[in-house]
Amino acid sequence: MNFAGSFPGTRMRRNRYDGWNRRLVAENALSAADLIWPIFLCKGEGQRIPVASMPGVVRVSADLAAEHVAEAAALGIPAVALFPYTPIGERDEDGTEALDPDNVLCRAARALKAAHPDLGLIGDVALDTFTTHGHDGVVRDGYVDNEESVKILCRQAVLMAQAGVDVVAPSDMMDGRIGTIRAALDAEGLIHTRIMSYAAKYASGLYAPFRDAVGSEALRPDSKRLGDKKTYQMDPANSDEALREVAMDIAEGADMVMVKPGLPYLDIVRRVRDAFGMPTFAYQVSGEYSMIMAAVERGWLDHDRAMMETLMAFKRAGCHGVLTYFAVSAAKLLKAG
């Protein structure tokens, strides 16, 4: 059967002839409701500090957080994702600040919930923003120890949920952490707290600007301290393995699953969506953002077109939503029509 028709009876360009027709036959649409905005939080008061490697991105102190997200909330962005910045001198080997109920993430969560009760708060569960070595868990005998790390992550997740975080998002890639975190939340009566699992997270070179944003200088490519995260994050060569990761996290109680990075892994997004039908998200990570912004700064790409085209790609691949540093710019553009 030939559903495509054939030329000249069929001319594919007819349905592209004018704007109303192109709108009419559009298969996918992007809306503000598809966007999650990651924000960086720093200590102190009245702080609003640009992140050098991410043009247009700033770190704000907890007292400015509510004001910082006001526009996002007004534009209909459903949720923001919170990431703490910790200067290298204030970190320690085990990332103990993660368990301080007054750390910057918890303080911002309380302030944001009070000011914007209808805005979803997603909290990053991982130790990399608090550890001197920058790993997502604790290092024992030169290895990121799975069970020791999971124990700490559970307490971190409970603390942020108690501070007002609606969705805990483990980005650490330890084995078994979803089930253990679910049990820890439930034991505290936090049965409504959702888990968005970074289920298929790859050991990517595209996280470099983020590591700058959160103060993990130790992780910079020129640093000898960390090496890499290849013993826990996934090998970019693999895709069947991503499905096993996602399947296990769903079995352990994940409410939403994420693939990360974004654009280079849209094949994984599509497979995950088709295989599980779960609420599926992708993270357009810092390196993806900065690549576009660097080209925009040189006049090589048009900001709005590059932004909207990449975001639409996530929808086409089957995402329910995208974590993206473009969230507010895109929502503004969508509103303007």
Burial of 95 (0-12, 13-18, 19+ CB in 10 A): buried
**One of 34, 94, 97, 136 touching ligand PBG (CB under 6 A):** 136
CA geometry: angle 270, 271, 277, nearest 5 deg: 85
Q: Which of 140, 131, 128, 127 is nearest to 91 (CA)?
A: 131
- The count of residues interacting with ligand PBG (CB under 6 A) is 11
Pick the catalytic residue: 43, 113, 224, 260? 260
Q: Does 85 bind ligand PBG (CB under 6 A)?
A: no
Q: Does 199 bind ligand PBG (CB under 6 A)?
A: no
For ligand PBG, the closer of residues 115 and 329 by Cβ is 329
Task: Rule CB under 6 A: choose which of 250, 285, 292, 317 binds ligand PBG.
Answer: 285
DSSP states of 138-171: -EETTEE-HHHHHHHHHHHHHHHHHTT-SEEEE-
Asked whether position 126 contacts ligand PBG by CB under 6 A, the answer is yes
Q: Rank residues 285 and 327 by Cβ distance to ligand PBG and give the closer one.
A: 285
Q: Rule CB under 6 A: is residue 40 a binding residue for ligand PBG?
A: no
35 lies in the site for ligand PBG, by CB under 6 A: no
Q: Measured at the alpha carbon of residue 93, what is the angle toward residues 99 and 184, in degrees to the nearest 5?
A: 30
Greatest Cα-to-Cα distance within the chain, rounded to the nearest angstrom: 70
Please, what is the minimum distance in Å from the beta carbon of residue 8 to ligand PBG?
48
Phi/psi zone of residue 100: left (φ > 0), alpha (ψ -120 to 50 degrees), beta? beta
Does 113 qualify as catalytic in the annotation? no
Query: What mask of x and - would describe binding to ligand PBG in positions 221 to 260, judged by CB under 6 A?
Result: --------x-------------------------------
124 or 252: CB nearest ligand PBG: 124
Residue 171 and residue 134: Cα distance in Å, rounded?
13
Catalytic one of 43, 113, 151, 201? 201
- The residue from 53, 171, 180, 310 that contacts ligand PBG (CB under 6 A) is 171
Q: Contacts with ligand PBG in 43-82 (CB under 6 A)? A: none
> Which amino acid is present at 180?
T
Q: Which is nearer to ligand PBG, 5 or 311 (CB)?
A: 311
Q: Using the rule CB under 6 A, is 128 a contact of ligand PBG?
A: yes
Residue 286 found at the interface with ligand PBG (CB under 6 A): yes
Q: What is the nearest approach in angstroms of ligand PBG to the Cβ of residue 287?
A: 6
* Residue numbers 204-223 binding ligand PBG by CB under 6 A: 207, 210-211
Cα 215 to chain centroid, rounded:
17
Q: What is the DSSP letter of 33?
A: G
Rg (CA), the chain: 20
Select from 70, 104, 111 the least CA-distant residue to 84. 104
Considering the complex, state which of residue 210 and residue 281 has its C-beta at the smaller distance from ligand PBG.
210
Q: Is 201 a catalytic residue?
A: yes
202 binds ligand PBG (CB under 6 A): no
d(CA 161, CA 113): 11
Gap between the Cα atoms of 179 and 153, Å rounded = 12
Task: Count the neighbouring beta carbons within 10 Å of the beta carbon of residue 163.
Answer: 21
Place of tokens 């301080």: 100
Residue 282 is given by DSSP the state E
Residues annotated as catalytic (active site), given as ranges: 201, 260
Q: Which positions touch ligand PBG (CB under 6 A)?
A: 124, 126, 128, 136, 171, 207, 210-211, 229, 285-286
